[in-house]
Amino acid sequence: MRKAALPRRWRPASVLAMLVLPSLAAQSWAASLDVAWWRDGRIEVQQLRQGGAAPKPFDGARQVPLASLWKLFVYIYAQDNKVPMPDYRCGGRDPEEVYCCEAGQSIGHDAALAQSCGPFFSPTRLMLETASWRRYWAGRLGTPPVGDFAWLADPAQLAPARLVRLDSLLRALGSIPAASRSNAEAALLRVVLDGRGAGTARWFGGQLRVKTYSWHEQAQAGAARERLGGAAGWLADGTPVWFGGAGGSSNVFQQWAPRLAAALPPVRAAEDSGCVVVDYFKRYPVRGVRGADGPAAPGPLNGRYHVQFENGQNLALRSAGEMTLLKDDAGRPQLRGRFGVNEYVARVLDREASADEPEAAKALAIAARSYLRQNAVTVAGCQQIADSSATQRVSPSPATPAALAIARWTDQLIVDGVTVRYHRDRASAGTLVWTEAVRQARQGKHYDELLAAAYPGGALGTAGNSGARCQRLTQNEAWLARALPRWQRVLLGEMGYEAPPQPPLVCALGAGAPYSEQSRNRIFMRPLATREDRITLAHEYLHLGLRGHPRGQDEEYVERLARRLVDLNLEAL
- Mean pLDDT, range 534-557, rounded to an integer: 88
Pairwise CA distance, residues 476 & 538, whole Å? 11
In this structure, the chain runs to a length of 573
Specify the pLDDT at position 291.
Answer: 92
% of the chain residues with pLDDT over 90: 61
Closest CA to 196 of 136, 120, 249, 255: 249
pLDDT digits (tens, 9 = 90+) for 232-276: 999 999 999 999 998 889 899 999 999 999 999 998 887 787 889
Pairwise CA distance, residues 252 & 36, whole Å? 15
In the predicted structure, residue 218 carries a pLDDT above the cut 70: no
Specify the pLDDT at position 6.
Answer: 31
pLDDT digits (tens, 9 = 90+) for 120-177: 999 999 999 999 999 999 999 999 999 999 999 999 999 999 999 999 999 999 999 9
Specify the pLDDT at position 20.
Answer: 33
- Mean pLDDT, range 289-304, rounded to an integer: 93
Specify the pLDDT at position 221.
Answer: 54
Helices (DSSP H) in 302-426: which residue ranges?
341-352, 358-375, 401-409
Specify the pLDDT at position 25.
Answer: 36
DSSP string, 87-137: PEEP-S--GGGGGT--TT-EE-HHHHHHHT-TGGG-TTTTT--HHHHHHHH
Peptide bond into 320 cis (omega under 30): no
Pairwise CA distance, residues 254 & 28, whole Å? 10
Higher pLDDT, 477 or 6: 477
**CA-to-CA separations, 95 to 73, 108, 111, in angstroms, rounded:** 23, 18, 18
Q: Are 47 and 55 in contact (CB under 8 A)?
A: yes
Range 349-386 burial, b when 16+ CB lie within 10 A, else e: bbbbbbbebebbbbbbbbbbbbbbbbbbeeeebbbbbb
Specify the pLDDT at position 219.
Answer: 54
275: helix, strand or coil: coil
In the predicted structure, residue 24 carries a pLDDT above the cut 60: no
In the predicted structure, residue 222 carries a pLDDT above the cut 80: no
pLDDT band at 225 (very low <50, low <70, confident <90, very high): low
Instruction: Give the side-chain half-sphere CA count within 13 A for 35.
Output: 20
Specify the pLDDT at position 182.
Answer: 87
Q: Are 461 and 186 in contact (CB under 8 A)?
A: no
pLDDT band at 571 (very low <50, low <70, confident <90, very high): very low
Max Cα separation, the chain? 84
Pairwise CA distance, residues 39 & 238, whole Å? 9
**To the nearest 10°, the Cα dihedral for 459, 364, 455, 419?**
-90
Q: Are 386 and 377 in contact (CB under 8 A)?
A: no
pLDDT digits (tens, 9 = 90+) for 317-370: 999 999 999 998 888 999 999 999 999 999 999 999 999 999 999 999 999 999
Q: What domains are defined for the chain?
A: 31-83+128-263 (3.40.710), 276-462 (no CATH), 474-572 (3.30.2010)
- Mean pLDDT, range 516-537, rounded to an integer: 87
Closest CA to 545 of 506, 495, 509, 510: 495
Specify the pLDDT at position 468.
Answer: 54
Beta bridge partners of 46: 35
**CA-to-CA separations, 198 to 22, 97, 429, in angstroms, rounded:** 14, 20, 27
The secondary structure of residue 182, as a DSSP letter, is H
Neighbours of 564 (CB within 10 A): 13
Closest CA to 379 of 240, 514, 230: 514
Higher pLDDT, 508 or 24: 508
Specify the pLDDT at position 507.
Answer: 87
In the predicted structure, residue 28 carries a pLDDT above the cut 70: no
Q: What single letter denotes the amino acid at residue 534?
A: R
Specify the pLDDT at position 447.
Answer: 96
- Mean pLDDT, range 453-473, rounded to an integer: 76
Q: What is the mean pLDDT of the chain?
A: 87
Q: What single letter denotes the amino acid at residue 375?
A: N
Specify the pLDDT at position 570.
Answer: 54
Pairwise CA distance, residues 532 & 509, whole Å? 16
Dihedral sign for Cα 280, 408, 196, 359, please: negative
